[in-house]
A and B are shown apart, each in its own frame.
Chain A
Amino acid sequence: MSKTAIIIKREYLIRVRKKSFIVMTILGPILMAALWIVPFLIATMTKDKHDVEVYDQTGIFTEVFRDGSEFRFHPVQGDLDSLKKAFIQSGHDALVYIPRTELSVPTTAIIYSLRQPGMNVKSEIRDRMKKRVEGLKLLNKGIDPEILESVKTGIKVMTFKLDESGSEKEGFAEVTTGLGLVAGVITYFMLFMFGGQVMRSVIEEKTSRIVEVIVSSVKPVQLMLGKMIGVGLVGLTQFLLWVVLTIGIVGGFQLIYGDKLQQGIPAAAQTMAQTPATGITAATLEEATSDNNTMLRVLEAIHSIDFGLMIGSFLFYFIGGYLLYASLFAAMGSAVENEQDSQQFILPVTLPLIIAFFSAGYILNYPDGALSVWLSMIPLTSPVVMMIRIAFGVPLWQLAISIALLFATVTLTTWLGARIYRTGILMYGKKTTWKELWKWMKYNS
């Protein structure tokens, strides 16, 4: 086994055996899968209905409180005190009391309950009363509420991606945006996390003084490359395990609950349709069904995304971006004796990455804007920015130039990093300045 391979093996094994690695590897996919699964679970879940007693002294809200998907209303009459007593016995969730007022339209209601009622109970009752009162007011002013309803309009905008061959694919901007953001954020955090690990490891070897023993056995550049590759492989392992486990969990879930999922969507549509079935308006019905459409279209949009391309690009950009930043981090780590001192070097090095991260909002809005294209070409920002853009579709030539530039820069920074590193790891005592780093770079071995 070559010496570099021995170093890679050590750097890799000490990390994948760590508890934190195992926890992260398992938690990641669970979170990812949860993002996928929870919305379906919510849609398919049969909700508990709230039992609400209504004591309406005004008598104008009777038709408003009709049973819905989440509520069962029980009109009650009588003396408030005895109603309260009866309510405590009944086991119902809430008692709504609408007192008679001197005003032409009542605007107050009191909710009694044993436990603090949920937000949804309060807002549901408020909404229902509000609609009724508004309707009454409009009537008083001589406007038929039906006219108002007919004015309400829902606009649907559908997006289609055309490709060169002319075939069209339905896109869904929200999904693409979300996916681009997730891809960018994952790239950003992985570059920071694993680049940072390289730096910490370099500092550890320097401060524990083990490094002098090691560089009497191997060349400093072997140690640096071995460390960078070993840690990078840990990152790749983690990512691949995330992909495999996420697919496994989602797939397993679909296998077990597949039927339910198929029913889930119509079921969700039904529950939503129930509300308008109580006869409030026709427009809400349309809204509800289009909501259901949305869900189906989100699913379709997700399926239409080229995950192969995304994962493949991620591998390229993670490897390139990681090597770029890890070589810089290794050089910075070699120049300091503890992590506190590293701050002065870290910020200038990571600034481009942070800029890329904070440009995400702009890039998501203008994926083909000049700034987006430039940032996706500059190697210090391209790994994060291109990963955001890829979800929206990127011309192949841009991808090729960006990756070529990235790997050319990696060669350069690794060479420069190694020159600083081999001097830095053996320097103790005084605080390093940028000027000194420049001098180290020019030393011959």
Chain B
Amino acid sequence: MLIRATEVVKRYSGHTALDRVSIEVPEGKVFGLLGPNGAGKTTLIRILNQITGPDEGAVWFDNQKLNSIHIGQIGYLPEERGLYRKMKVGEQALYLAMLKGVPQAEATRRLKKWFAKFEIESWWNKKAEELSKGMQQKLQFIVTVVHQPRLLIFDEPFSGFDPINANLLKEEMLNLKREGTTVILSTHNMNSVEELCDNIALINQSRKVLDGTVNGIRQQYSRKVFEVEAEGTLHGLSSTIDELGFKLINSSDLHNRIQFTIGATPGQATTQVLQKLASVIPVVAFRELLPSMEEIFIEAVNKSRNP
């Protein structure tokens, strides 16, 4: 585990922002930190960044208690991203890189490489305020990763990004993951969670309500709904399914084939369902319809609200 937070509590006068939250972030994975606005995600991220400290509990970075040495090993792109408007782009990037502990010469070399990669070399001597929003986002991404951190923390990275930049960001994120970088992604964009995250933790009202691998959680929340494609006709299908002990949810006639969705009883193994079906119907294709992360998110949040 690259990051292990145990029983973290953070109180502000009047309310508790984090209530005994524990998370484990495996190295080399993309970890999704999910939750509605105001759940406590940003507070947890600020604790990981040592911007603020926990009142109780502890955070471990690679089995060491989190301390100032780790600052240079973490890259952080906050939700509200800013730049010095009047400062030149190159100088600004260099300044931020040096604050992360990269020596000037090395920082310059790396920045030139990134600028070339994103084709923004010509912006080096421009002021930040002259940059378009998209250009600023590229620059912000570069300064987040320039010190080659082991852990990257992105807070709502896709909000405000145009589709092209959002895509670029996803690509670069996966590139860095391949190189071994661990990523914590705080978001409520569930599509990107399914696409990018290996593990997640869901925080609601200052408490963690759900965590695990994305696949594991989707299995856990499975409603045992299967989509089947088979040869034959719709004639008599309904009674056949009933006899098997399943429920026909809907069906449609394709050319020469039929497609239908069935619901099995909870707790039934997928292989068992397939075996039963195949014994009476010539099945061509079969797959489980797992709930989307969005559905799970809403269900888990509602459940934690009215237990």
Chain B residues whose CB sits within 8 angstroms of the CB of A444 once the complex forms: 53, 55
Q: Is B257 an interface residue (CB 8 A)?
A: no
User: In the complex, how many angstroms separate the beta carbon of A137 from the nearest chain B beta carbon?
Assistant: 73
User: In the complex, how many angstroms separate the beta carbon of B279 from the nearest chain A beta carbon?
Assistant: 60
Q: Is B6 an interface residue (CB 8 A)?
A: no
Q: Is A208 an interface residue (CB 8 A)?
A: yes
Which of A186-194, A211-219, A316-324 is the contact stretch?
A211-219
A445 touches B52 (CB 8 A): yes
B46 touches A210 (CB 8 A): no
Q: Is B81 an interface residue (CB 8 A)?
A: yes
Known A208-B84, A209-B78: A214·B99 in contact at CB below 8 Å:
yes
Report the Cα distance A86→B96, complex, angstroms.
Answer: 82
Contact with A along B134-148 (1 / 0, CB 8 A): 000000000100000
Report the Cα distance A444→B83, complex, angstroms.
Answer: 29
Q: Is A14 an interface residue (CB 8 A)?
A: yes
Chain B residues whose CB sits within 8 angstroms of the CB of A210 once the complex forms: 82-84
Known A6-B95, A217-B96, A217-B100: A208·B143 in contact at CB below 8 Å:
no
A213 touches B76 (CB 8 A): yes
A217 touches B46 (CB 8 A): no
A216 touches B49 (CB 8 A): yes
Known A209-B82, A439-B13: A215·B51 in contact at CB below 8 Å:
yes
Q: B144 — nearest CB in chain A belongs to which residue?
A: A213
Chain B residues whose CB sits within 8 angstroms of the CB of A445 once the complex forms: 52-53
Q: B12 — nearest CB in chain A belongs to which residue?
A: A443
Q: Is B298 an interface residue (CB 8 A)?
A: no
User: In the complex, how many angstroms separate the beta carbon of A11 from the nearest chain B beta carbon?
Assistant: 11
B71 touches A217 (CB 8 A): yes
Chain A residues whose CB sits within 8 angstroms of the CB of B85 once the complex forms: 208
Please classify how large the interface on chain B is, using the bins under 10, 10 to 19, 20 to 34, 35 or more.
20 to 34
Q: Is B23 an interface residue (CB 8 A)?
A: no
Report the Cα distance A215→B49, complex, angstroms.
Answer: 9
User: In the complex, how many angstroms separate the beta carbon of A354 from the nearest chain B beta carbon?
Assistant: 30
Chain B residues whose CB sits within 8 angstroms of the CB of A35 once the complex forms: none
Known A426-B46, A426-B51: A3·B84 in contact at CB below 8 Å:
no
Q: Is B87 an interface residue (CB 8 A)?
A: yes
A208 touches B98 (CB 8 A): no
Report the Cα distance A214→B99, complex, angstroms.
Answer: 8
Q: Is B74 an interface residue (CB 8 A)?
A: yes
Q: Is A1 an interface residue (CB 8 A)?
A: yes
Chain A residues whose CB sits within 8 angstroms of the CB of B99 once the complex forms: 3, 6-7, 214, 217-218
Known A3-B99, A10-B95: A216·B71 in contact at CB below 8 Å:
yes
User: In the complex, how many angstroms separate the beta carbon of A236 from the nearest chain B beta carbon?
Assistant: 23
Report the Cα distance A211→B85, complex, angstroms.
Answer: 13
Report the Cα distance A291→B143, complex, angstroms.
Answer: 69
Instruction: Determine chain A's interface SS by DSSP, over half rule.
Output: helix
Q: B83 — nearest CB in chain A belongs to which residue?
A: A210
Report the Cα distance A95→B44, complex, angstroms.
Answer: 91
Known A3-B99, A6-B98: A216·B51 in contact at CB below 8 Å:
yes
Chain B residues whose CB sits within 8 angstroms of the CB of A3 once the complex forms: 99, 101
Known A3-B99, A445-B52: A212·B83 in contact at CB below 8 Å:
no
User: In the complex, how many angstroms separate the beta carbon of B120 from the nearest chain A beta carbon?
Assistant: 18
Q: Is B80 an interface residue (CB 8 A)?
A: yes
Report the Cα distance A6→B86, complex, angstroms.
Answer: 18
Query: Restricting to A412-437, which residues have a CB under 8 Å from any CB of B?
Result: 426, 428
Report the Cα distance A359→B95, complex, angstroms.
Answer: 45
Q: B72 — nearest CB in chain A belongs to which residue?
A: A217
Q: A201 — nearest CB in chain B belongs to which residue?
A: B84
B84 touches A213 (CB 8 A): no
Chain A residues whose CB sits within 8 angstroms of the CB of B87 once the complex forms: 14
Report the Cα distance A59→B100, complex, angstroms.
Answer: 94
Chain B residues whose CB sits within 8 angstroms of the CB of A209 once the complex forms: 78, 80-82
Chain B residues whose CB sits within 8 angstroms of the CB of A204 once the complex forms: 84
Report the Cα distance A210→B53, complex, angstroms.
Answer: 20
Known A6-B95, A218-B99, A426-B46: A213·B82 in contact at CB below 8 Å:
yes
A1 touches B98 (CB 8 A): yes
Q: Could you say which of A217, A218, A428 has the most chain B C-beta atoms within 10 Å of its C-beta?
A: A217
Chain B residues whose CB sits within 8 angstroms of the CB of A213 once the complex forms: 76-78, 81-82, 96, 143
Chain A residues whose CB sits within 8 angstroms of the CB of B76 once the complex forms: 212-213, 216
Report the Cα distance A159→B303, complex, angstroms.
Answer: 90
Q: Could you say which of B49, B51, B53, B78 has the most chain A C-beta atoms within 10 Å of its C-beta?
A: B51
User: In the complex, how many angstroms separate the beta carbon of A410 from the nearest chain B beta carbon?
Assistant: 26
User: In the complex, how many angstroms separate the beta carbon of B161 from the nearest chain A beta carbon?
Assistant: 16
Chain B residues whose CB sits within 8 angstroms of the CB of A428 once the complex forms: 80
Chain B residues whose CB sits within 8 angstroms of the CB of A215 once the complex forms: 51
User: In the complex, how many angstroms separate the beta carbon of B171 from the nearest chain A beta carbon?
Assistant: 22
Report the Cα distance A444→B12, complex, angstroms.
Answer: 10
Query: Restricting to A175-227, which residues have a CB under 8 Å from any CB of B?
Result: 204-205, 208-218
* 9 contacting pairs across A/B (C-beta < 8 A): A1-B98, A7-B99, A10-B95, A205-B82, A205-B84, A208-B83, A213-B82, A216-B51, A216-B76
The 8 closest A-B pairs by CB, nearest first: A209-B82, A210-B82, A208-B82, A217-B99, A209-B80, A216-B49, A216-B76, A212-B78
Q: Using a CB–CB distance below 8 Å, which chain B residues touch chain A?
A: 13, 46, 49-53, 55, 71, 74, 76-78, 80-87, 95-96, 98-101, 143
